[in-house]
Structure 1
């Protein structure tokens, strides 16, 4: 048995930690030396699935410190995850999935997150720690003919441990520097003989922050997570089983600070760029080296969220197949507080969008595994409601920071024209926008996939999906001046004070609507070239539903919202893929290749709104983008002592055509180009800025051309304190090359490539005891997770430094 489990390390994208002993359960984790997955909604060896899929067991995730989806990026090169806070997060596969920038609730993620077959519409779920996870599968490429919710870029399929009819338990505790403490545990066993079983699990994580806020004298960007999960399995008959699951997850960290990284020249007048403005206030950031990890944010930080729900899954053997029903209700509550100006000055002391969301979903699937034909037929219904009550308020420094004071010498605290609105703090101080935002979404779908085993080697696999989406929303922004009186911006006010207030925060109201049907599908041919060699080719035609803009619209000359951009068109995806899955040396080596070519018409992108006080933008369609590349995965276990793995991806990516794109900061902030005029050179203070930019041929944001992960583990049998076991040493590393951190590539916004290395040394036994020390980011590499443009074209670039070196000890056992 142990030899079989060790051979399971030779799976696509696995880590050596997967080879650890795993107790037998109702779900067979390994089969014929390979990990069993349910990527095609049936249990089968990962090497027999004609999909590019990486899978990880719960044991391997714990060993490598991969506690959530974001951490998986160090193991799976084709997965990207970006987060400025839990709400503003995005999971992309092969660089596709969600626009890069602040979240707009009116569109959908292109990467689906499923937990126990339940679709999670809120990407914030990806920021929570895994609790009692059996395995995680990362499926690359469109997944619409087997999954309830259509996903154009891929899916992350998370399966938790099922209730067991044999009593069992698990306990894991970790502690480390930065006051890190994490505890996880689960128990399971029968309640009524072999008919009713229960499983209870919990996990909690705390860690001190990595950024010190000198203003509040506190560490921020901390971790404070709690997760609870319970499930009941009732085997009503030999043919029918019912599983009820409930979960609750809460985060309440003081988070999320973005801090000074650098300043770049824009086309704003020089006296209105960051250095001159800071000098006018006598202000300096606490450090101009982001890796001093200092902030001086003067607004409270909070990233409170809770997410949870209840699901009922029924599996009934009917006729030649199995009928599966998945019913679910989920909720998400979000209570943030941010410092959106990224400085210690009172410019925008309030910027928050508290939200409450409910979702309901129902899926029916009927699956048959036959000698010549396998098929799955399904229907899916989904509905969500979300209510957001946002607010943004300007402070006493907003007028001077935001408005044009005239020709002021650099470093001068005075104003050339004392009557200028910029010299009067009262013009913008207390200016407040209160937003009431509603969203309703309904999706209906019928889908199916057939696998025809033409011969023992050749399989043809067509799939089809019919989808209907309807979205309706309401956006109402009411703006009050510092005296609490609503301002009116249409018609254009005669007062220069009110005009400047309207240019900063403008009232607007609109009610966007979208509905559409689409038909998509895929076709895969797979052929067994030999017993352990599978070749496949896939073409997929997929669609990502159109969306509605729910973060405010650009205004016309009369300060009315431009209603023509209330909606964005659906993405139209053409995806081609060729793959090869191989095993050698008695299945001790696995080598898999995948080549892909994806083109998207009407790519949903984020466009700057033009507002001078906010970094928010609205959604628009880029005419066409293309992503293509090659992925390789190697795992090798020459003997029972040593295991090795290496995964790599080359990704070529660009906007094929995007002519109305937002301009980068070096081309922003200047005067508007009139007919016959030419925009100024990038970074020309007081120059002329184009209204939009043609970024055709430029990089897409967030994608590295090269990315790798690699690792090794070596063990030696030994006896410790009378226990037979093995001492082991492991290393896991990753690298990604330079990537753009802005929708329009900027000379200031590239994140340099970086490599990370994690180490572990421990002792484990076949009975389940495992004690190991670990070091993550062992070389203390300095890197940025992402960079962000701050409001107003001042040239200030903020960012999030990645975690420094951390170290600690983990102990776990099973009983």
Structure 2
């Protein structure tokens, strides 16, 4: 494959032409904005949006960075109810909840993560939310802002690739209220009530009460096993949540304003719908005895050559899946539904209770100085019971006495079959709380200069307990007889059985607690260097500290990380309707810890990721403010990526394999983003948005120490990518996983008058996301995802009646894949390679009624 400096050449014959055409059209539109007509006319114009992306209110068209902003009206018009909907409408922003609503892994401009914390941060009214949110009701939102590119200088931790900020509705000068009810297929029901208004001359309040639920997306068909032969059918993918959101605004004096918000939410979701490609379906890189493909040997004299088992095939030679994963094929192999063991524990699914509090104080110290305080507190309790085999395969059936992990005594030459658990049926019990405090002083001495100074403090505490089905507190059977009691540490063996049995295959305990603290100082300055040129600079110094204590033995691990994060901006105002800008920024993702007991000491601390981003952009209005153009071209140099590797160690006399994060990756990303909105007539608005995210891993290094055991993951990597001369496995020249190279949106909205104050409206939104790879090897992928949403109805002054169809074409592309394993009956290597796939939401038709009074 041949490359130019920025865009692939040769991957698809038509792409270079398409890219040049898009860029040419954008520049032409911008140039058109430079010379507006001399005679102004009364025209329908594209909506003007005010945002707080830089922590002050600014016109979206005048800031030197890329922001996708969704106003209250646009959220309502598009039927946006989740972060997934926001991502679908924002090319350059990928989001797929692989593990239900508890999973928060947004991807902005290709900066995906495989394990570890997200690379983009989530905020509510500027206050960080570290635990992903299930939902915020549409009726409570005034605006959503997706800020692209590193925002570490102003937003701080967790904004390596960008930030998502939810802005809540506040009270106006008049009392307003709104009730919304919605019904759809598969038992979808949503009800929201919002009321806001003044309580006195100086106090206002806004309250939103909401409930949402839907039935399961897929039948769950678990056929039983030797332990339980009864078949049962349930559903997976059901969701339910109830919430109340309140915002209180107080004008304490002519110079002091106070705003407080409180959000309370309870969610109860079923097991998320996910399936597993059985290892028997793997179609590449199989290593079989006497087969055409053999496991390669590392170069002589390298540490890898001295590693144990390095020449035996990883994952029993079970191979890999190459190509597009077809959801219908996988479902057909499972009898038409998911195959998840959801009744192993008393309940299955995820329950979450959350309380999120925020307080903002703005005080005018003088005519030129403003003081701002932001205080946040979050308390979240999560209980999750899940089948993490993804395919009902937690039971192993080796025969006792023939390589069995159990020592069975008192039986003759034909011992019974022993059924042991791998340990992938899990319960996680997590309690999290955090506190954040930010102080800012903004100085505006004149119209040409402003600067900000600030300080920030953050701390969090988290405790977690876990149980796996292979734990002695869980259940193991021999000949169908239960010999371990659930949730009890006592072992009750049958007569003649060894009391040493029962822990084989179970993951080590990770129960414990973690404390994180972060402190930083930051500043920003912006000044007008000439009539048309504005220059700016931002910077932040940040320090993070981590302390983790394991409950099992009281052992602890800790780490600290610090960073200096600058940003430079420039914008040139060509005229009142067009500007160009440039910014260069360094972002980082906080370091972390590999917390598993037994992880080698040298692999515990994971350093920060770092990225240097360059962005050139253009914003313009043309054709009497009816055509709005936003264009951005960027380059990201990404270093010290936290990528998944496998490490082997001996713990308690037993060989263990660990999946760990390491700073072993480097990548380069370049891209183009174009967003065109055209008010065709007073009744027709169209939008086309496009993003090319050309991301490539430049270097991903995997190695094994001399004398250590070579984990299956390393041997698999060697089979796929081969060895370097040093014996390492180096992956390069491949696309970043979990992100689409090409995304685009095409929207059309029509409306017209009827009799009286009634009007009609129609809307179509078409979203395209190209394939996403499961892992760095670029073998298994999702295929292209194409979603068409249709909406139409009638409205009057206070009533909206709407009929809608989400995913109208019933696209069945998996939104996310995960490289995974499947249980094997082999005791010496209990896992085969498999691929997990999140199942998509099916087409859903429904109706919404909204009444304002």
TM-score class, shorter-chain normalisation, is 0.7 to 0.9
**Matched-pair contact (CA < 8 Å) for 1:57–1:135:** yes
Q: Which residue number corresponds to residue 59 of structure 2?
A: 45
Corresponding residue to 1:514 among 548, 559, 568: 559
Q: Distance in 2 between matches of 1:242 and 1:158?
A: 18
Q: Distance in 2 between matches of 1:435 and 1:304?
A: 20
**2:204 equivalent to 1:197:** yes
Q: Which residue number corresponds to residue 689 of structure 2?
A: 647
Q: Which residue number corresponds to residue 443 of structure 1?
A: 518
Corresponding residue to 1:754 among 785, 797, 816: 785
> What SS does structure 1 have at the residue aligned with 2:82?
coil
Corresponding residue to 2:739 among 678, 695, 703: 703
The within-5 A match list for 1:361-376 is 361-369=436-444, 370-376=446-452
Which stretch of structure 1 is more off in the superposition, 347-356 or 726-735? 347-356
Q: How far off is 1:374 after superposition?
A: 2.1
Q: Which residue number corresponds to residue 48 of structure 2?
A: 34
Q: Distance in 2 between matches of 1:112 and 1:243?
A: 22
> Can you list the C-alpha shifts for 1:503-534, whole angstroms capped at 9, x where unaligned?
xxxxxx85222213321111111001121111
Q: Judging changes above 3 Å, is the alpha-carbon distance between structure 1 residues 797 and 127 closer, same or farther for their aligned structure 2 residues? A: farther
**Matched-pair contact (CA < 8 Å) for 2:360–2:373:** yes
Q: Distance in 1 between matches of 2:478 and 2:782?
A: 32
Which stretch of structure 1 is more off in the superposition, 263-272 or 45-54? 263-272
**Matched-pair contact (CA < 8 Å) for 1:393–1:432:** no
Q: Judging changes above 3 Å, is the alpha-carbon distance between structure 1 residues 185 and 71 closer, same or farther for their aligned structure 2 residues? A: same
Q: Distance in 1 between matches of 2:656 and 2:82?
A: 31
Corresponding residue to 1:57 among 71, 87, 92: 71
Q: Which residue number corresponds to residue 343 of structure 1?
A: 391
**Matched-pair contact (CA < 8 Å) for 1:392–1:433:** no
Q: How far off is 1:642 after superposition?
A: 0.3
Q: How far off is 1:130 after superposition?
A: 4.6
> Can you list the C-alpha shifts for 1:125-156, whole angstroms capped at 9, x where unaligned?
15555551000000000112322546221010
> What SS does structure 2 have at the residue aligned with 1:306?
strand
Q: Which residue number corresponds to residue 20 of structure 1?
A: none
Q: Which residue number corresponds to residue 661 of structure 2?
A: 619
The within-5 A match list for 1:300-379 is 300-319=347-366, 320-347=368-395, 348=423, 350-369=425-444, 370-379=446-455
Q: Distance in 2 between matches of 1:118 and 1:608?
A: 36
> What SS does structure 1 have at the residue aligned with 2:133?
helix
Gaps of 5+ in 2: 1-25, 27-43, 223-231, 290-314, 320-328, 396-422, 480-498, 705-709, 823-830
> What SS does structure 2 have at the residue aligned with 1:70?
helix
Q: Which residue number corresponds to residue 757 of structure 2?
A: 724
> What SS does structure 2 have at the residue aligned with 1:658?
strand
Q: How far off is 1:615 after superposition?
A: 10
> What SS does structure 2 have at the residue aligned with 1:292?
coil
Q: How far off is 1:76 after superposition?
A: 0.4
Normalised by the size of structure 2, how large is the TM-score?
Answer: 0.75
Q: Which residue number corresponds to residue 488 of structure 1?
A: none
> Can you list the C-alpha shifts for 1:658-701, whole angstroms capped at 9, x where unaligned?
11179xxxxx986987xxxx9985599xxxxx997321222211
**2:165 equivalent to 1:157:** yes
**Matched-pair contact (CA < 8 Å) for 1:332–1:356:** yes
Q: How far off is 1:383 after superposition?
A: 0.4
> Can you list the C-alpha shifts for 1:297-332, whole angstroms capped at 9, x where unaligned?
244531111222222211111211321111121111
Q: How far off is 1:290 after superposition?
A: 6.9
**Matched-pair contact (CA < 8 Å) for 2:457–2:520:** yes
Give the number of aligned pairs: 690
Q: Distance in 2 between matches of 1:140 and 1:807?
A: 33
Q: Judging changes above 3 Å, is the alpha-carbon distance between structure 1 residues 432 and 703 closer, same or farther for their aligned structure 2 residues? A: closer
Q: Distance in 2 between matches of 1:681 and 1:620?
A: 21
Q: Which residue number corresponds to residue 585 of structure 2?
A: 540
Q: How far off is 1:264 after superposition?
A: 1.1
Q: Distance in 2 between matches of 1:286 and 1:708?
A: 28
Q: How far off is 1:267 after superposition?
A: 5.5
Q: Judging changes above 3 Å, is the alpha-carbon distance between structure 1 residues 615 and 355 closer, same or farther for their aligned structure 2 residues? A: farther
Q: Judging changes above 3 Å, is the alpha-carbon distance between structure 1 residues 149 and 796 closer, same or farther for their aligned structure 2 residues? A: closer
Q: How far off is 1:367 after superposition?
A: 2.3
Corresponding residue to 2:777 among 745, 764, 777: 745
Q: Distance in 1 between matches of 2:733 and 2:84?
A: 29
**Matched-pair contact (CA < 8 Å) for 1:116–1:160:** yes
Q: Distance in 2 between matches of 1:136 and 1:629?
A: 23
Q: Which residue number corresponds to residue 698 of structure 2?
A: 656
Gaps of 5+ in 1: 1-11, 13-29, 276-284, 401-423, 479-508, 554-559, 663-667, 685-689
Q: Distance in 1 between matches of 2:86 and 2:703?
A: 32
Q: Distance in 2 between matches of 1:614 and 1:257?
A: 30
Q: Distance in 1 between matches of 2:721 and 2:65?
A: 46
The within-5 A match list for 1:155-554 is 155-192=163-200, 194-215=201-222, 216-261=232-277, 263-264=281-282, 287-289=331-333, 292-298=336-342, 299=344, 300-319=347-366, 320-347=368-395, 348=423, 350-369=425-444, 370-394=446-470, 433-475=508-550, 510-550=555-595, 552=596
Q: Distance in 2 between matches of 1:267 and 1:175?
A: 48
If asked which structure has higher relative contact order (CA below 8 Å, sep 6+), I would say 2
Q: Distance in 1 between matches of 2:206 and 2:93?
A: 31
Q: Distance in 2 between matches of 1:204 and 1:646?
A: 33
**Matched-pair contact (CA < 8 Å) for 1:772–1:811:** yes
> Can you list the C-alpha shifts for 1:319-376, whole angstroms capped at 9, x where unaligned?
1132111112111111001112223344336323221111001111122443111222
> What SS does structure 1 have at the residue aligned with 2:91?
coil
**Matched-pair contact (CA < 8 Å) for 1:391–1:433:** no
Q: Distance in 2 between matches of 1:670 and 1:517?
A: 35
Q: Which residue number corresponds to residue 835 of structure 2?
A: 797
Normalised by the size of structure 1, how large is the TM-score?
Answer: 0.79
**Matched-pair contact (CA < 8 Å) for 2:580–2:619:** yes
